[in-house]
Structure 1
Amino acid sequence: MSGSGSAANPFVISAEVPCEDVRGCLSAGPGINLDQATGEISADLSGEAGNNLTLGPDGGLLVPTAGGAVLAGCGLTGDGSGSAPLTVATGTWPYPCDPDVAGGVIVCGSDGVLRGEPRGQVNFAQISETRDYNDLTVPNELTVVDTFTLNIVNPDPCRPAAVFVEREVDVDFVLPTGAGAAYGHDTDQMYYMRNTGSSTITDAHTQTTKLYQALTALAPGAGAVVQLPVSMDRGSGGATYNRIQVFIRAIMISL
């Protein structure tokens, strides 16, 4: 203690404490390094990949801003800083439906590439077949006289397919005078002809077609058999048939 205690010469208390005695009271914590030997305190910078925190040229801690170490590529915005973190660049949803309900998904593939949902597909299969007969009598009651088939497979490995089928039938009738005959798809009569002339009509025929939805959901990779039963009825006066020609076409739409 020094001084007299007056205003001009106040008491002064002074003491010197060695640095070594103080260092024992200090310790390093998260983000801090302490060298007990020298007493130097410094920032503890993480060595993890992607850490952008560094020491600036003025000795202060620095997070690079735009134009620094992180550059955003296609589909990204931001520079990785706290004020502008990297984010996905998105557009505006232009549809009236709810994206939470109708929106698709994006996943990361095994190669680290972002992948969207599988593309829709439209696939097609068909057959054309002609069968000859030895002048068979046309029945006078509804009767399936022959059946034709088309085997289809949904080639889409991801989505079920709606299947639409177009079927065509053409039958050759021989109609003596006064004879009549009809044919149809399944039980639906499509064509009837009667000979009102004075001589036999040979190979009277007309091609008819129908389009319908055969399946609403053919599972991915699954197969199905599309059938076309050809029926005949209203045979009279010795009417016969000698040929049936069919087309079966299937379009498979998976969206």
Structure 2
Amino acid sequence: MAQFGCGGPRCTCLVTAGPGVVVTGNGSAGAPYVVEAGVAPVSCDDVRPCLSAGPGATYDPATGVIGAEPPVTGCGLTGDGTAGAPLAVATAAWPYDCPPEDSGTVVVCDADGVLRGEPRGQASFVSYSETRDYPDLEVPTGTTPTDVDTPFTLEVTNPDPCLPALVLVEREADVDFDLPVGAGAGYAQDTDEMVYLRNTGTTAIQDTHVQTTKLYQHTLSLAPGATATVNFPVRLSRGAGGATYNRIQVFIRALLISQ
């Protein structure tokens, strides 16, 4: 550094700024040397190798251009995610006369982010059969069908956890009658007489029987998991001439259609 007033010759020193350093002044009292940390100029070529593209972005190291990566779409989606072509659910034209607002089904997003449609309907079937024997009991004589035993029953449960079910029931009945000459007897499902038999011959008829069936709608809407009881009273009537019965056999079959 320069020295002043020391009685000796003036000493001039060379001060050079290194990388990242700035030196100002000339070493005089009015302009002393000032050494500061400087900011070295950095070119784009120096920076570009340090950059890379993350998810959803594009990067060109030759030009330094950073852009948004268009979404990759698959089945069920349209558009590329741009303002001009936003992502949308791909839908088909509604081909029915009824409006979709009234009759269209529902599509939802599940807990895993997957689109789901409404639950599928299902069909199930249950069947029951029972035979009861009797010690040749007299057939009731009245014209109105009469209960001669407790009703046969079947418990029907809707196995669908989501949808109500239509329940269709088919019931079969078969009653064995013993008919002396001139005797007659009939049986009914509920109040509907299904069979009337009469012996117009000259000898007794043993264990004569006719099996009948009926199909009906039991329940229009059985709630998910709910149970309904199908009762089947087999009733006898118009006993005459010593007619007796010794057996009643039934079948109950139920078809459940959830919808």
TM-score calculated relative to the size of structure 2: 0.74
Aligned to 2:84: 83
Structure 2 match to 1:143: 146
Equivalent AA in structure 2 for residue 250 of structure 1: A
- What's the CA shift string for 1:187-229, capped at 9, x where partnerless? 1100001000111000110000111111111111000110000
Match of 2:33 in 1: none
In structure 2, what is the equivalent of residue 102 of structure 1? 103
The Cα shift of 1:56 comes to 9.2
Gaps of 5+ in 1: 1-36, 39-48
Amino acid at match of 1:97: C
Following superposition of structure 1 onto structure 2, how do residues 115-194 of structure 1 map, counting pairs within 5 Å?
Answer: 115-141=116-142, 142-146=145-149, 147-194=151-198
Cross-structure match for 1:253: 257
Correspondence 1:1-255 to 2 at 5 A: 52=57, 58=63, 62-64=67-69, 69-141=70-142, 142-146=145-149, 147-255=151-259
Cα distance in 2, alignment partners of residues 186 and 54 from structure 1: 82
Structure 2 unaligned regions, length at least 5: 1-38, 41-53
Which residue identity is paired with 1:197? G
| RMSD of Structure 2 on Structure 1 (CA) | 2.1
Q: For residues 198 and 93 of structure 1, what CA distance do their matches in structure 2 show?
A: 72
* Mapped partners of 2:222, 2:215: distance in 1: 18
| Matched-pair contact (CA < 8 Å) for 2:57–2:66 | no
Q: How big is the shift at 1:85? A: 1.3
Instruction: Tell me, yes or no, if the aligned pair for 2:134 and 2:245 is still in contact at 8 Å.
Output: yes
4+ runs deviating over 3 angstroms: 49-64
Spell out, residue by residue over 1:156-186, the C-alpha distance to the aligned partner (whole angstroms, 9 max, x if none): 1111111111000000000000000000101
| Rg (Cα) greater in structure | 2
**Matched residue pairs, number?**
206
8 A Cα contact 2:56 2:71, kept in partner: no
Shift of 1:73: 0.7
User: Secondary structure of the equivalent of 1:172?
Assistant: strand
DSSP 3-state at the match of 1:220: coil
Question: What percentage of residue pairs aligned between the two structures are identical?
Answer: 59
